[in-house]
Amino acid sequence: MKSVIVGTAGHIDHGKTALVKALTGIDADRLEEEKRRGITIDIGFAHLELPLPGGETLLLGLVDVPGHERFVRNMLAGVGGIDLVLLVIAADESIKPQTREHFDICRLLSVRRGIAVLTKSDLVDRETLDLVRLEVEEFLRHSFLDPAHSSVVAVSALTGAGLEDLRQALVTVAAEVPARDSSALARLPIDRVFTMKGFGVVVTGTLISGTIRKEDELEVFPAGQRARVRRIQVHGQAAEQAVAGQRTALNLAGVTTQELARGMVLAPPSTFHATSRVDVSLASLPTAKPLKDRARVHLHAYTFETIATVALHRQKQVLPGETVTAQLRLAEPALLLPGDRFIMRQFSPVVTIGGGVVLDASTFSRRPGLEMFLKTLADGDAQSILRARIERRGHGGIAVAQLIAETGWSRQMIEGLLAHPGWQAEVARIGELVVHLPALETLKSLIVITVARFQKENPLVAGIGKEELRDQVASPSEVFTAALEMLLREKKLGTAGETVHLPGRGVVMKDEETESKEIIETAFASSGLKVPALKDVLAGLKVDKTRAQKIVTLLLRDKVLVKISEDMVFHREALLDLRKRMSLEKAKSPKIDVARFKDLTGVSRKYAIPLLEYLDREHVTRRVGDERVIL
């Protein structure tokens, strides 16, 4: 069964609700105030099944919208997800202001198909009806409802005249509507929230993509709550699942009506991100006034409505009829994805002035190349768009999950695109990250340059620490590790433990630095365990304090010197000799106290205590009370 969503549009009192009732038998005016006042205030819904020529059934979900100018915001909540429109024009009044505004809205929302319906045909004579038909045909010329390829059907909801012709026209037009992608990620913009006795919380909306099944868990955007689907109705009938293009009612568990509202969206959990900034292609209506940079507007997208600030990318204003790129900064976050259409209305007075399409809703910002990036998003195919999104991330890469969130595409679609043979020369897969290969090569060059610069600036240091190097090149850990491993295989770099250095490059010393190194080593080698204070040794050197400290660091790294406390350093040979003496002492007695240790080594308590604590740490001894056990 094919499902198609049909929306009405047109001026107040032109018979939209009466037409829907005549077609379906359902009164879409559900509010008491609507019945009392005789006008439609909020969106209403009905459904109709029609037979298709092949024996299948066409299921039409009708969205009836208010025509009064005060309720255009409600009208916009209903037409965001429609497949085709019934542009309703009363034969006794012809084209009126909301006829034009509603038609502009449909064009801005990129509605591609529809039927112009001349209602109340029973109220005019044949000559007047023909005249109105000519006016309407001229109004629609060069639009998606151009009479050259679209129907103009005259009907009377009162007498039933023309209704069969309209049903046939609906079958013809609906057959041209492409099926929505039920395998895509599900999104349901909420247009109604209410409580049903015996069931609990119910929401309704037009499922614009994907499939929702009973017991599915969904996330409420932008609020973030989780809800479970208990029951599903499609066009008023219980169902196991709802698919894209169907009017859907969901009975939800885990949320309250106070937590839900029109404008929120249900989607798979932990998949998308709500955003307050979107880059868009924005079209101004020819009848609109110039729109200045930083102007505030009313923004409508599907059932969502908020205030937005228009930040133009290149110019100071948008002229009537002009299409530009801009960033919309929303007063409230929303779930918007590339390809979503929106309507802009002037802040005051509130009239429709334009609309457009979302190009990018990610929070990632890269000003250089932004114009070309947005052009690719607007005009490119799926491969080009995916390439542009990966490329702009540079050597930081982008996770597949983030690509899903940015594009709204399924993982299967993205993996399918990446599996294309041509991509092997363009991207590298590093864990969950996808990295642009030229950017990875740039990172490798940057790493080598950074190591070379560090060693030039620090000739007394054997190399740069891996973490310090990663911080300097600003790369994610997994990408940095992969790039470093490539450089090691290519023998462009070497490592010693956690230190990275140029191949064959060691410490480079000047004559006075070599001399100072020998002085330091001799001072500690000749003193045994009665070592001098390090600061006193360094004070007698020819080199400055900074270089002297680097020489000490080098000796410590090479384990020529060993630091056993904050201010005490020993030569390694002295400590090795101490270990041998402790081993010999064990044969005499397995226990040793401070006094015996002082006698053994000939050192004062100043040296004895730090040396014994060092031996404890090295598991040569173990302290037991006031004594040590020699292990």
The answer to whether the Cα torsion of 554, 559, 561, 562 is positive or negative is positive
**444: Cβ contacts below 8 Å, ≥ 6 apart:** 483, 486, 487, 492
CA dihedral sign, ordered 39, 45, 46, 51: positive
Predicted local distance difference test score (pLDDT) of residue 508: 58
Q: Check residue 234 and give its pLDDT.
A: 92
Largest Cα–Cα distance of the chain, in whole Å? 130
**Which pLDDT score, from 0 to 100, does residue 425 have?**
85
- The answer for residues whose C-beta is within 8 angstroms of residue 236's C-beta and 6 or more apart is 47, 249
* Residue segments in the chain with a per-residue pLDDT below the cut of 70: 34-35, 365-367, 460, 504-511
Q: What are phi and psi of 318, to 5 degrees?
A: -105, 125
What are the structure tokens assigned to 89, written together? 């024009």
Which of 243, 231, 233 lies closest to 179, judged by CA?
A: 243
Q: What would the CATH number be for the domain defined by 188-267?
A: 2.40.30.10
pLDDT value, residue 169: 94
How far apart CA 10 and CA 339 sit, in angstroms, is 26
CA angle 171/159/44 to nearest 5° reads 60
Torsion of Cα atoms, 175 then 178 then 181 then 182, to 10°: 0
What's the 3-state SS for 194-212?
EEECCCEEEEEEECCECEE
Residue ranges per domain, the chain?
2-175, 188-267, 275-360, 393-508, 511-630
Determine the distance from the C-alpha atom of residue 531 to the mean position of all C-alpha atoms in its chain, rounded to a whole number.
61
Contact yes or no for 8/85 (Cβ under 8 A): yes
State the Cα angle at 92 between 86 and 94, rounded to 5°. Answer: 55
Name the CATH topology of 511-630: Arc Repressor Mutant, subunit A (1.10.10)
| Nearest-angstrom CA–CA distance, 469 and 482 | 14
**2-175 belongs to CATH 3.40.50.2020:** no
Amino acid of residue 238: A
Contacts of 119 by beta carbon, 8 Å cutoff, 6+ apart: 14, 15, 16, 18, 19, 88, 89, 90, 91, 155, 156, 157
Residue 335: what pLDDT? Answer: 96
Instruction: Please determine whether the domains at 2-175 and 275-360 fall in the same fold group of CATH.
Output: no
Long-range contacts of 577-580 (CB under 8 A, 24+ apart): 577/528, 578/529, 578/611, 578/615, 579/620
Task: Specify whether the CB–CB gap between 310 and 293 falls below 8 A.
Answer: yes
Q: Where are the alpha helices (DSSP H) in 113-183?
A: 126-140, 163-175
Residue 174's φ and ψ, nearest 5 degrees, are -65, -30
Say yes or no: domain 393-508 is CATH 3.20.20.70: no
The residue written with tokens 């029109």 in the block is 262
Please name the CATH architecture into which domain 275-360 falls: Beta Barrel (2.40)
| Other Cβ atoms closer than 10 A to 24 | 17
